[in-house]
Amino acid sequence: GPSYEKILELRKQFVTPSAIPFYRKPLLIHKGEMQFLYDHKGVKYLDMFAGIVTVSVGHCHPKVNAALEEQIKTLWHTTCIYMHPKVFEYSEKLASKLPGDLKVVYLTNSGSEANDLAILMSRLFTKNYDILTFKNAYHGGSTSTMGLTAQSTWHYPVPGLKNGIHHVMNPDPYTGIWGGSNCRDSPVQTNRKCDCTQGKCLAEDNYINQLESEFKYSLPRGKLAALFAESIQGVGGSVQFPRNYLKRAAEIVRAGGGLIVSDEVQTGFGRTGENYWGFENHGIVPDIVTMAKGIGNGFPLGAVVTTQKIAQVMTEAVHFNTFGGNPMACAVGKAVLDVIDEEKLQQNALDVGTYLLKGFEILREKYDIIGDVRGKVRFKVFLL
């Protein structure tokens, strides 16, 4: 293949400059094998980034590869104009992973597309227009999801992106104005001073008050379509919310007529250890769940799952997606679900996650350079 230098040249001439790779001398990756990557010189790396939190079961996992190879030999593409068995088998299996009435699956190619669809669904269902989301959120880079995404890094200065979208303070116990919650009831431990009184998380109460005052003073009354929430803010910096925040926020939003959309693009598929979905850690059942990244282990795949009742609004017009749910994506998606179960990867996430959090916590106490140790914490981990 072309040399490293030649590739840098090609990149400059023929590839979009909008995405910036890591490192001044970006890595050139030729091969992946489970948790390892290999560069052009054959140097082996432990991949802690997993292609932006996407390679959920391992690079080129043999079982996923086998499922894809089999499908490639049989059928690549039909669209929804014809039926093929894989989309139905896969949807049934995916739906079985979700609680309650969350049983109707729409397959897409990415997280942005999934969130686009969730915006549409929530607006159609509620007949409302306004959408709430959090500061520091990331929900995608399409024209409408860019409006939900609340970090200037991801925004181009073009008008119209934020139509009907309102950002409320994200309940960030690390750096927020009520930060520094080091209390025993909080999901986080930081170097900052404890804010709590008698085991009650002040940050949680303060952020809920903030949300309530948005409803009181700023938001259009009774016009809410949805709240979009990541159950841990991912791109925003692994922000864990105070323990009961989302549950209380969901009650407020539902009382205001809005649906709850849980963006599980980063937090789904067992990754948070204790539960299969991040929202389960918050004791809520959303109305719409969006997912991508880990769902396909690197294959372009995303999904929206909702209830039969909400899904009915999507019959008012034809909603069409050429590639969404193609046979190859479904074969991969099904194999990924199987591998997560067979290899007990959810339990593994809990074990390894807990081990790392404990280890980093010990280092944090020793070294000032470490600010926060962020991760999904079993609430009792630090109460040893």
If we measure between CA atoms, which residue out of 112, 308, 125 comes closest to residue 225?
125
Question: Binding of ligand PMP at residue 263 (CB under 6 A)?
Answer: yes
Q: Which is nearer to ligand PMP, 178 or 269 (CB)?
A: 269
Question: Binding of ligand PMP at residue 140 (CB under 6 A)?
Answer: yes
Shortest reach from residue 38's CB to ligand PMP, in Å: 25
Token pair, residue 126, equals 């509620």
**Out of 55, 107, 118, 292, the residue judged to bind ligand PMP by CB under 6 A:** 292
Q: How far apart are the first and last CA of the chain?
A: 54
Residue at shortest CB range from ligand PMP: 111
d(C-alpha 192, C-alpha 200), whole Å: 17
Within positions 82 to 121, which residues make up the interface with ligand PMP, using CB under 6 A?
A: 110-112, 115
Shortest reach from residue 246's CB to ligand PMP, in Å: 14
Residues in the chain: 384
Q: Which is nearer to ligand PMP, 136 or 206 (CB)?
A: 136
d(C-alpha 118, C-alpha 199), whole Å: 37
d(C-alpha 230, C-alpha 214), whole Å: 19
Look at the alpha carbons of 307, 312, 313, 315 in this order and tell me if their dihedral is positive or negative: positive
Q: Which is nearer to ligand PMP, 49 or 355 (CB)?
A: 49
* Helix, strand or coil, per DSSP, at residue 107: strand
Shortest reach from residue 188's CB to ligand PMP, in Å: 19
Report whether 242 contacts 207 (CB < 8 A).
yes
Question: Binding of ligand PMP at residue 138 (CB under 6 A)?
Answer: yes
Give residue 154's region: left, alpha or beta (phi > 0; psi -120 to 50). Answer: alpha
Binding piece for ligand PMP, criterion CB under 6 A, among 41-49, 193-201, 228-236, 317-325: 228-236
Q: Which is nearer to ligand PMP, 7 or 53 (CB)?
A: 53
Shortest reach from residue 144's CB to ligand PMP, in Å: 12
Look at the alpha carbons of 134, 215, 187, 55 in this order and tell me if their dihedral is positive or negative: negative
Token pair, residue 333, equals 């998606």
Q: Which is nearer to ligand PMP, 111 or 327 (CB)?
A: 111
Question: Binding of ligand PMP at residue 234 (CB under 6 A)?
Answer: yes
Residues in CB range of 283: below 8 A, 6 or more apart: 244, 247
**Out of 116, 130, 195, 230, the residue judged to bind ligand PMP by CB under 6 A:** 230
Question: Binding of ligand PMP at residue 130 (CB under 6 A)?
Answer: no
Question: Binding of ligand PMP at residue 128 (CB under 6 A)?
Answer: no
d(C-alpha 37, C-alpha 298), whole Å: 14
Question: Binding of ligand PMP at residue 265 (CB under 6 A)?
Answer: yes
Q: Site for ligand PMP (CB under 6 A): how many residues?
A: 15
**Out of 104, 219, 235, 261, the residue judged to bind ligand PMP by CB under 6 A:** 235
d(C-alpha 239, C-alpha 262), whole Å: 15
Binding site for ligand PMP (CB under 6 A): 52, 110-112, 115, 138-140, 230, 234-235, 263, 265-266, 292
